[in-house]
Homo-oligomer: A and B are copies of this chain.
Amino acid sequence: MFLRMRAEDPADRPPRHAEAGPVHLGPGPEFDLIRRFLAGSAADGARADVRVGPGDDCAVVAGNGIALSTDMSVEGVHFRRDWLAPREIGWRAAAAALSDLAAVAARPIGILVSLAAPAADTGDFAVQVMEGCREAAEHAGGILLGGDLTRSPGPMVIDVTVVGEAPRPVLRSGARHGDEVWVTGELGGSAACIEALLAGKAPAAEARERFARPIPRVREAQWLLGRGLLNAAVDLSDGLAGDACHIAAASGVAVLLVPELLPVHPAARRRARGQMLRLALGGGEDYELCFTAPVGAVEPHAAAFRRTFGIRLSCVGRLGGGDGVWFVDAEGRRTSPGISGWQHFGGDT
């Protein structure tokens, strides 16, 4: 959804620790552009039918809370045909959008899929892409509600809009000073796969699975919401270092991460520390959740969570005063993580 312009050029990554803008996005030129988009918009909250306007993972409309978000994928930028089967292309595109529903703890109703494709691909290829989208939607508990299909000279473009019910949406702005910071699952698996593919190597099977069929954490989010464990949440599409900035900016806090606590995916764990942290914090596309909760609230539920979903919950730090995202050591000293954010394979490095 907005508020994340997906920058493929690393030079456009937001610098960390700069000042947050008035719409509570993280800093950086890409978000400046989005602030320009929103300048002059009808004000958030000015309408009874808009509970949450632009500025979070989803908008939430109507009395009972309908969560909406949209996510666009471009061939050659977000996916490559030589790396993924058509069904996987569709799954990933839909999973990325469904992950925004997880971030507000919405229950998926369905998706709308728009597809621009060259004429040669509007047969079996398009059908398989669409089937992949639908499989991801149905896996998350939603259905294919509709869409649009149009010819294009290319590249193929897939835009997925997700719709869910969120009577109690979890926002980026609900974090409180002192909260623990938690993440679901493991980080860096998808980035490790991309790194291998770019190097012309075969990725580890479990890393490729994370890349090709990421699981949006929609059921996990509802489970956590039902136990009162989500003060604030964001999904990890651009990497923890970048995405946690949005919680910091929206909630007026600093996110203090303990690097030793990060649940690094096995495929990323084999690297030197710097590279491992880069994959885990800046790799993006893991589609895990980062959330904050009161001290001590999550731990009693961690074992049940793991039994239920087969993935772990990890406390990776705390929220403190200030802003931005920092590494913190045992003495409480803050250092910059020095992670340049999401390194997409379409980027220069």
Residues of A within 8 A of B (CB): 1-9, 30, 33-34, 36-38, 40-42, 47, 49-50, 53-55, 58-59, 61-64, 66, 68-74, 76-78, 109-110, 112-116, 119, 122-123, 126-127, 130-131, 134, 138, 143-153, 155, 157, 159, 161, 163, 165, 346
Question: Are B149 and A159 in contact, with the CB atoms below 8 A?
Answer: no
Chain A contact residues, majority secondary structure = mixed
Question: Are B77 and A150 in contact, with the CB atoms below 8 A?
Answer: yes
Question: Are A3 and B146 in contact, with the CB atoms below 8 A?
Answer: yes
Question: Are B70 and A147 in contact, with the CB atoms below 8 A?
Answer: yes
Give the residue name and chain of the B residue nearest to A130 (CB): B37
Give the residue name and chain of the B residue nearest to A4 (CB): B148
Question: Are A64 and B61 in contact, with the CB atoms below 8 A?
Answer: no
Q: Whole-angstrom distance between the alpha carbons of A215 and B332 in the complex?
A: 59
State how many angstroms separate the Cβ of A347 from the closest Cβ of chain B.
10
In the complex, which residues of chain B have a beta carbon less than 8 angstroms from the beta carbon of A7? 151
- Name the contact of A112 in the complex, choosing from B59, B113, B165 (C-beta under 8 A): B59
Other than A54-B147, A69-B146, give 19 A-B pairs with Cβ distance below 8 A. A1-B112, A7-B151, A41-B143, A50-B145, A54-B145, A59-B112, A61-B109, A61-B110, A63-B64, A66-B163, A70-B112, A72-B150, A73-B150, A74-B152, A74-B157, A76-B153, A116-B157, A151-B346, A157-B159
State how many angstroms separate the Cβ of A134 from the closest Cβ of chain B.
6
Give the residue name and chain of the B residue nearest to A8 (CB): B151
In the complex, which residues of chain B have a beta carbon less than 8 angstroms from the beta carbon of A38? 144
Q: Whole-angstrom distance between the alpha carbons of A197 and B101 in the complex?
A: 44
Question: Are B143 and A33 in contact, with the CB atoms below 8 A?
Answer: no
